[in-house]
Amino acid sequence: MKTLLLLAGASLIMLAAPVRAQTMDHSMPGMTMPAKPAAKAKPKPKARPAAKRPASARAVAPAPGANPDMPSMPMPQPAPVEDPHAGHVMPGMPAASPDMPVHSASGTALSAGDAPSPAASEANYADTVWGSENMAASRRQLRREHGGSTFSQVMFNLAEYQVRDGRDGFRWDGEGWFGGDINRLVVKSEGSGSFGEGVEDAEVQALYSRAIGPYFNLQAGVRHDIMPNPSRTYATIGLEGLATYWFEVEGALFLSDKGDLLARVEGYYDQRITQRLVLQPRAELNFAAQDVPETGTGAGLSDVELGLRLRYEVTREFAPYIGASWDRRIGDTARYARLAGENAGATSVVIGVRAWF
């Protein structure tokens, strides 16, 4: 029992020690602690003056279900947003001066309206940096490298063997040219004949060709008929080019040294069946303004040639073909042929090659 009493008394002493430590004076001997300052009274907040209602504010009707006794307040208007960088000069940016160019709005940045279009920018702006003389030499070099160069080509559109009924023959039609995109020298040749009898008709043309548009050339020069006899020389003027729907067309007038006036129209179309297989229909018509008995030519439509050829392009530059050709002399030209013991028309199976280099 005594033991229990001793334990209870010790517990009471241990619990009372912390409470006493909180109320003890912890100051050192001879040291006076400063007194705590008196708490300052907080100032009373000033009453804000009543906000003035702008004259433009409109009374807003209370929403359905709202308390009609509550005063309606106008909706607050957002404050205008100012550019935080307005008037600031960024580091490294030169200060504005009256001599600096002003870049105005252009292109799609222009506002909609019916105002006239802005003036075009200066075409040769580089002259202001490098000088006109230095840039003139650079532009000449640029034109030579991009469109101003000199080229050449020789192409045989027809070079074929013709299998006819009873008498086989041959035919050629080609041209070569030298020059640029605008001005060229063109040499053309075409003719036909029969094996065993030689060349029946052959001609050569030397022409100056001038581009008059993106797709057409105006040509002028001379034509000389080597065969038939007697030969003729003609002044020539013509037009050739690429017509609508990719038709290659050509037309020419010929005035001979004897006063004979002839004309020719021809054209063909390359219909691609595959990337290598091409079907080419072709037509040629010749006309005469008068009868020329010496060359066996009658007035009007003198002869017609229609052909259909299917070629296979081994390469773009070399393409063998097979096809058919129908030739017919018309009117007085047919009559002159019969008087000379020749046929007025013929149908041929043709085998040939189309090549260019």
Bigger pLDDT: 113 vs 29? 113
Q: How many CB atoms lie within 10 A of CB 296?
A: 20
Instruction: Give the pLDDT confidence score for residue 170 in this predicted structure.
Output: 95
Average pLDDT estimate for 132-158:
88
Report the residue count for the chain: 357
Residue 92: is its pLDDT beyond 80?
A: no
CA separation for the pair 278, 123 (Å, rounded): 45
Q: Domains (ranges, CATH) in the chain?
A: 160-356 (2.40.160.40)
Average pLDDT estimate for 9-13:
60
Residue 75: is its pLDDT beyond 80?
A: no
Bigger pLDDT: 9 vs 82? 9
CA separation for the pair 230, 195 (Å, rounded): 22
Instruction: Give the pLDDT confidence score for residue 343 in this predicted structure.
Output: 86
Instruction: Give the pLDDT confidence score for residue 66 in this predicted structure.
Output: 52
| Averaged pLDDT of the chain | 81
pLDDT-derived band of residue 141, with 50, 70 and 90 as boundaries? confident
CA separation for the pair 200, 191 (Å, rounded): 8
Give the whole-number percent of the chain exceeding pLDDT 90.
51
Residue 87, by phi and psi: left (phi above 0), alpha (psi -120 to 50) or beta?
left
CA separation for the pair 284, 265 (Å, rounded): 6
Q: What angle do CA 307, 313, 316 make, to 5 degrees?
A: 110
CA separation for the pair 35, 82 (Å, rounded): 54
Average pLDDT estimate for 279-305:
95
Instruction: Give the pLDDT confidence score for residue 351 in this predicted structure.
Output: 98
Specify the residue for token string 């007035």: 299
Locate 7 and state its tokens.
């334990």
Average pLDDT estimate for 123-140:
87
Bigger pLDDT: 108 vs 157? 157
What tens digit of pLDDT does each residue of 317-337 get?
999 999 999 999 999 999 999
Give the whole-number percent of the chain exceeding pLDDT 70.
69
Identify any residues that bridge with 89 across adjacent strands, giving them in sequence order.
Answer: none
26 alpha-carbon distance from chain centroid: 96
CA separation for the pair 315, 13 (Å, rounded): 118
Instruction: Give the pLDDT confidence score for residue 46 in this predicted structure.
Output: 58
Instruction: Give the pLDDT confidence score for residue 59 in this predicted structure.
Output: 46
Instruction: Give the pLDDT confidence score for residue 324 in this predicted structure.
Output: 97
Q: How far is the CA of 229 from the CAs of 232, 253, 269, in angstroms?
A: 8, 21, 33
What tens digit of pLDDT does each residue of 38-55 get?
555 555 555 555 555 544
Identify any residues that bridge with 309 across adjacent strands, giving them in sequence order.
Answer: 280, 323
Specify the residue for token string 């008709």: 201
Specify the residue for token string 């580091």: 91
Q: Which of 239, 230, 233, 234 is nearest to 209 (CA)?
A: 239
DSSP sequence for 13-74: HHHHHHHHHHTS--PPTT--PPPPPPPPPPPPPPPPPPPPPPTT--PPPPPTTS-TTSPP-P
Average pLDDT estimate for 33-39:
55
pLDDT-derived band of residue 341, with 50, 70 and 90 as boundaries? confident
Instruction: Give the pLDDT confidence score for residue 57 in this predicted structure.
Output: 44
Q: How far is the CA of 335 from the CAs of 146, 183, 301, in angstroms?
A: 55, 42, 13
Q: What angle do CA 298, 302, 304 make, to 5 degrees?
A: 165
Residue 36: is its pLDDT beyond 70?
A: no
For the ranges 72-76, 147-151, 284-288, 329-333, the lowest mean pLDDT is seen at: 72-76
What tens digit of pLDDT does each residue of 342-352 get?
888 899 999 99
Q: How many CB atoms lie within 10 A of CB 104?
A: 8
What tens digit of pLDDT does each residue of 22-32 get?
545 555 555 55
Question: Is 272 in contact with 278 (CB distance < 8 Å)?
Answer: yes
pLDDT-derived band of residue 35, with 50, 70 and 90 as boundaries? low
Question: Is 319 in contact with 313 (CB distance < 8 Å)?
Answer: yes
Q: What angle do CA 256, 259, 260 make, to 5 degrees?
A: 65
CA separation for the pair 100, 52 (Å, rounded): 48
Q: Which helix (H) or strand (E) holds 2?
A: helix 2-22
What tens digit of pLDDT does each residue of 180-234 get?
989 999 999 999 999 988 898 999 999 999 999 999 999 999 999 998 888 899 9
Beta strands in the chain (DSSP E): 151-163, 169-179, 183-194, 198-211, 216-227, 232-243, 247-256, 261-269, 271-272, 277-288, 300-312, 318-329, 345-356
